[in-house]
């Protein structure tokens, strides 16, 4: 059941009746999605509160363990920043971050290696390629982007090959799954 502002504009007796019906339906095993701007209503009727701010769920709260003030902070986005900061801190300390950073480092090393190879083989073409990357892609429209891809392809492929070479377990697991 979806109940959006179910008690808006009603008198106290009708509000109590609606709340009683919602709780009765919940007790009978029905799922109820209550959307309300009345914080007291949300706190008194809900078993679980999800707070949405800027189109994103920023909190999953138990109404028995939170306050109206804390709920308001999440609604205003003030606590979201704290929660995002904590999630970022956890990510930086995780293995996923270390893996991501090693992949980025491998790509950078590959790009630098590709740049060196291009300069050794044909320095003028390497300089033209980087000029196109810097200027052509941003000012040349679709033609400039095509030029960037055409001239930078050896550099991109070299970077990818070094990046993939540094991840042999990934290549083996892909091979085994297919």
pLDDT tens figures, 90-141: 777 777 777 777 777 777 777 677 677 777 777 777 777 666 655 655 555 5
Instruction: Give the per-residue pLDDT at 83.
Output: 60
Q: In this predicted model, which residue has the larger pLDDT, 89 or 81? A: 89
Instruction: Give the per-residue pLDDT at 26.
Output: 87
Q: What is the mean pLDDT of the chain?
A: 75
- Band (pLDDT 50/70/90 cuts) for residue 146 is low
Q: Between vectors from CA 52 to CA 46 and to CA 58, what angle results, nearest 5°?
A: 100
Task: Flag whether pLDDT at 171 surpasses 70.
Answer: no
CB-based contacts of 111: which residues, under 8 Å, 6+ apart? 155, 158, 159
Following CA atoms 47, 52, 57, 58 in sequence, which dihedral angle do they give, to the nearest 10 degrees? -90
What are the structural domains, with CATH classification, of the chain?
A: 2-92 (3.40.50.300), 94-177 (no CATH)
Number of residues written out for the chain: 178
Does pTM surpass 0.75?
A: no
Positive or negative torsion for Cα 154, 160, 166, 169 = negative
């Amino acid at each position: 059941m979806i109940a959006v502002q179910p008690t808006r504009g009603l008198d106290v007796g009708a509000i109590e009746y609606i709340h009683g019906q919602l709780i009765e339906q919940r007790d009978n095993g029905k799922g109820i999605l209550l959307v309300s701007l009345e914080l007291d209503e949300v706190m008194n009727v809900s078993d679980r509160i999800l707070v949405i701010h800027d189109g994103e769920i920023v909190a999953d709260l138990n109404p028995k363990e939170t306050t109206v003030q804390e709920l308001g902070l999440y609604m205003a986005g003030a606590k979201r920043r704290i929660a995002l900061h904590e999630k970022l801190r956890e990510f930086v300390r995780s293995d996923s971050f270390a893996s991501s950073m090693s992949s980025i480092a491998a790509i950078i090393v590959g790009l630098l290696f590709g740049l060196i190879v291009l300069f050794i083989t044909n320095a003028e073409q390497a300089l033209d390629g980087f000029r196109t990357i810097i200027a052509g892609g941003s000012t040349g429209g679709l033609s400039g982007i095509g030029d960037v891809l055409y001239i930078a392809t050896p550099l991109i492929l070299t970077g990818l090959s070094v990046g993939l070479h540094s991840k042999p377990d990934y290549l083996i697991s892909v091979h085994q799954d297919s």
